[in-house]
Amino acid sequence: MRKSIATVSLSGPLSEKLTAIATAGFDGVEIFENDLLSTSLSPEDVRLRCADLGLSIDLYQPFRDFEAVPAELLARNLRRAERKFDVMERLGADLLLVCSSVAPESLDDDALAAEQLRQLADRAQRRGIRIAYEALAWGRHVDTYDHAWRIVEQADHPALGTCLDSFHILSRAGDPGGITDIPGEKIFFLQLADAPLMAMDVLQWSRHYRCFPGQGGLDVAGVVAAAVKAGYRGPLSLEVFNDVFRQAGAASTAVDALRSLLLLEESAGLAAPPAAAAPSGFAFAELTAADTEPLRGVLGALGFSRAGRHTSKPVELWQQGEARILVNTGAGGHRGGPALAAIGLETPDPAQAARRAEALLAPVVPRRRGPKDTPLDAVAAPDATQLFFCRTGKPDHPSWTDDFTGLPPTHAEPAGGVSRIDHIALTQPWHQFDEASLFYRRVLGLQADESLDLADPYGLFRSRAVAGPDGGVRIALNVAPAPGEENVRFQHIALATDDIVATARLLRERGAGLLPIPDNYYDDLDARHDIEPHLLRTLRESGILYDRDETGEFFHCYTPTIGRVFFELVQRTGGYRGYGAQNAGVRLAAQHAYQHGV
C-alpha cells in the first residue's frame, strides 16, 4: 500500500522534513498546519517542492472544533473552513482532516453534528475537496471511531468520510473489529501510531509518547488488517507526536518511520519481505583500534591467542574456544581508543538475512575487500554497528575465516576457560533506543525482554535485551543517561566461562586488573542471599558480582574500560537467562569511580 507520514512526526523546518521524507522513500505526506504556518515557502512553493520530490500531499490537517455549534458560530466556522480550502487549493491538497470538537460551545447532538458536517462537505465538494472526520480520544462528545462513523453515515454526503487513527482507537481500549462494518470507500484516511502501554492521561500520552508501529504495545496491525478487510485502499500514514523524535534528526527518524510501516505491512499480512533467518550464535566481535597494545594485553590475559591474520586487511583474529575477537587497525580508529565496530552473527542463510535487512532499509555495508576475499553479507544497524551474517566453517557456505591465515599462538600460557561470547552490550544513541529494539527484534528475528530502568549515579540507564530462543545470541541494548554525551558510547563484550573464579585469578596473575567492587556490596549480598561463607569470601576477593533467580545463578565481573570498550566475564548455572540487572547500579558506580580515579 502507499505510505505516508504527517510532517509533525519529524523535527526541523518543513523543507527539511519533506526532503527527509522523500529520501527515506515515502510516497506521500500529511501537511501539518503548524509546519505550513512556520515556513516562508508559500503553499504553491510547497506544492512544487513535493512534486519535485515525488511526494503526493495526501492530507491537510488538522481542522478543529467545527461541528455541533450554535448558528452564529457555524457561520464563523464555515468562513474559517473556506479560508483553509483556499490554502488547500494553493497546496493542491484535496483531503481535510476534521477532528471531533473539544470546544465547550459544542453540543451533544449527533443530528446537528451530521447536518453541519454535511454543509461543510457540500462547500468542500464545490472546491474539489473531501472531508475526513475523526474522533479524538478526548473529544468533547465524540470520542470513539464508531460514534464518528455514525455521524458520517447520518450526514450521508459523498464528500464526507471518516478518518481512523490507531492511537485514538486503541488508547481507549476500543475494539477495532467494528471497523469492518464501515464501507471501505467511506474510510477516507488511516492514521497510524503506536504507544508504550502507560497508565496516564490519554491527551498527555498522545502528545508526548506516541511512537512508530511496533515500537510500542498497541495492536496497530489489527487496525490495519480490519481497515483493509473493510475495503480501505488509501495510504498507510504515520502521525506520531513524540518528544524524542522532536529532537532527533529528521533523516534517520524518517527511515525508522518507513521501516516500521514495512514491518507493519508484514504483521498485517499485506506484504512478505524475505523471512527472518534468526542468528544462532556470535561468529565474532570486531574492535577497531589505532593502538593495539592495550587490547593485546587484556586479550592475552583473558587467555586469547592470536590465531590468524587477514590476508588483505590489517585485521588480527584472536580466539579462545568459540570466542573470536577481530582487532582491526585499518579502520582509522576512534580518537577515544578501541571501539566495537562490527558483530558477526552465525546465520542459517546469510544471503537471505541480508536481503531481509536490505528490504527493511538497513544500509548494506560496502564490501571493500580484496579480489580473493570471501563474499560477505553485511548491513548496518540503526546505531551504525555493522552486522555480518556468517556461516563459520560450514562446508555448504564460504567462511569468513578462509580470509585469515593461521599464526602460531602468541603466548604459551594456558587459555582462560573462555568458551564463547555470551552477550554483547551496545549503547544506543538516546533517540534510537526504541528503534534499535524494533530492528533487532523484527529485522533479525530475535526476542525482546522487557525494558528496564537501572540507576546510574548520573541518571537512569535504560536497558533492553534481545536474544535468540536458545540463548546463542544475546544483545543488551542500553541507553546512557546524559543526552549530551551520545558521542561517547561504551560497549562491552561478555565472555562465557565455566569457572569464573579461575578465569579471574588468571587475569589477576597476568597483571590485568578487574573492576574493583565495593566491600559493602558483599555484605548486602550476604544479607540478601545467605551465601556460603567460603564462596562469599571468594567472590569478595575476586570482585565477582552475583545474582540468582528461581532457575539458576549468575556470576560476573568486569575488566577496566579500554577506550570505549570493556570485557565482562560471565558464568551461568541452571537456567538463569538474565544479565545481573540487580547489580547494574553498583557496577556503573564502580566504573564511574574507576574512570575518575575516585
Q: How far apart are CA 369 and CA 444, in angstroms?
A: 25
Query: Is 44 within 8 Å of 280 (Cβ atoms)?
Result: no
Interface with a copy of itself in residues 62-81 (CB under 8 A): 76, 79-80
**Which amino acid belongs to residue 68?**
A
Distance in Å, CB of 73 to a copy of itself, minimum: 12
The enclosing H or E element of 319 equals strand 315-320
Query: CB within 8 A of 47, min separation 6: which ones?
Result: 57, 90, 91, 92
Q: ω before 70 within 30° of 0 (cis)?
A: no
**Which grid coordinates are listed for 539?**
567472590
Distance in Å, CB of 316 to a copy of itself, minimum: 36
Strand partners of residue 319: 305, 324
Give the nearer residue to a copy of itself in terms of CB position, either 86 or 498: 86
Give the nearer residue to a copy of itself in terms of CB position, either 51 or 482: 482
Q: How far apart are CA 349 and CA 495, in angstroms?
A: 25
Binding of a copy of itself by 598 (CB under 8 A): yes
* 76 CB-contact burial (10 Å; exposed 0-12 / middle 13-18 / buried 19+): exposed
Give the nearer residue to a copy of itself in terms of CB position, either 82 or 509: 82
**Which grid coordinates are listed for 357?**
535487512
Binding of a copy of itself by 83 (CB under 8 A): yes
Q: How far apart are CA 272 and CA 293, in angstroms?
A: 48
Binding of a copy of itself by 457 (CB under 8 A): yes
Query: CB within 8 A of 408, min separation 6: which ones?
Result: none
Q: Which residue has the cell 593502538?
A: 291
Q: Which residue has the cell 453541519?
A: 116
The pattern of x and - marking residues 157 through 196 that bind a copy of itself according to CB under 8 A reads ----------------------------------------
Distance in Å, CB of 394 to a copy of itself, minimum: 46
Among 458, 498, 532, 595, which residue interacts with a copy of itself (rule: CB under 8 A)?
A: 458
Interface with a copy of itself in residues 236-295 (CB under 8 A): 243, 246-247
Binding of a copy of itself by 44 (CB under 8 A): no
Among 460, 469, 498, 551, which residue interacts with a copy of itself (rule: CB under 8 A)?
A: 460
Distance in Å, CB of 180 to a copy of itself, minimum: 33
Binding of a copy of itself by 573 (CB under 8 A): no
Q: Is 191 assigned a ligand-binding role in the annotation?
A: yes
Binding of a copy of itself by 51 (CB under 8 A): no
Q: How far apart are CA 237 and CA 216, in angstroms?
A: 17
Binding of a copy of itself by 198 (CB under 8 A): yes
Among 332, 366, 527, 550, which residue interacts with a copy of itself (rule: CB under 8 A)?
A: 527
Give the nearer residue to a copy of itself in terms of CB position, either 23 or 38: 38
Q: How far apart are CA 66 and CA 80, in angstroms?
A: 9
Give the nearer residue to a copy of itself in terms of CB position, either 246 or 397: 246
Distance in Å, CB of 431 to a copy of itself, minimum: 11
Cα maximum dimension of the chain: 93
Q: How far apart are CA 235 and CA 163, in angstroms?
A: 12
Q: How far apart are CA 177 and CA 225, in angstroms?
A: 10
Among 217, 483, 513, 574, which residue interacts with a copy of itself (rule: CB under 8 A)?
A: 483
Give the nearer residue to a copy of itself in terms of CB position, either 45 or 115: 45
Q: How far apart are CA 480 and CA 569, in angstroms?
A: 21
Query: CB within 8 A of 475, min separation 6: which ones?
Result: 343, 423, 424, 425, 426, 440, 446, 465, 466, 467
Region of 214-222, 306-314, 400-408, 589-597 interacting with a copy of itself (CB under 8 A): 589-597
Binding of a copy of itself by 455 (CB under 8 A): yes
Binding of a copy of itself by 513 (CB under 8 A): no
Among 184, 526, 561, 581, which residue interacts with a copy of itself (rule: CB under 8 A)?
A: 526
Q: Is 165 assigned a ligand-binding role in the annotation?
A: yes
The enclosing H or E element of 355 equals helix 350-359
Give the nearer residue to a copy of itself in terms of CB position, either 39 or 260: 39
Region of 6-14, 146-154, 165-173, 280-288 interacting with a copy of itself (CB under 8 A): 6-14
The enclosing H or E element of 24 equals helix 14-24
Region of 21-29, 228-236, 369-377, 455-463 interacting with a copy of itself (CB under 8 A): 455-463
Q: Which residue has the cell 544471503?
A: 351
Q: Which residues form the interface with a copy of itself (CB under 8 A)?
A: 11-13, 15, 33-34, 36-40, 42-43, 76, 79-80, 83-84, 86-87, 198-201, 204, 207-208, 243, 246-247, 453, 455-460, 481-484, 516, 518-521, 523-524, 526-528, 530, 585-586, 589-590, 592-593, 598
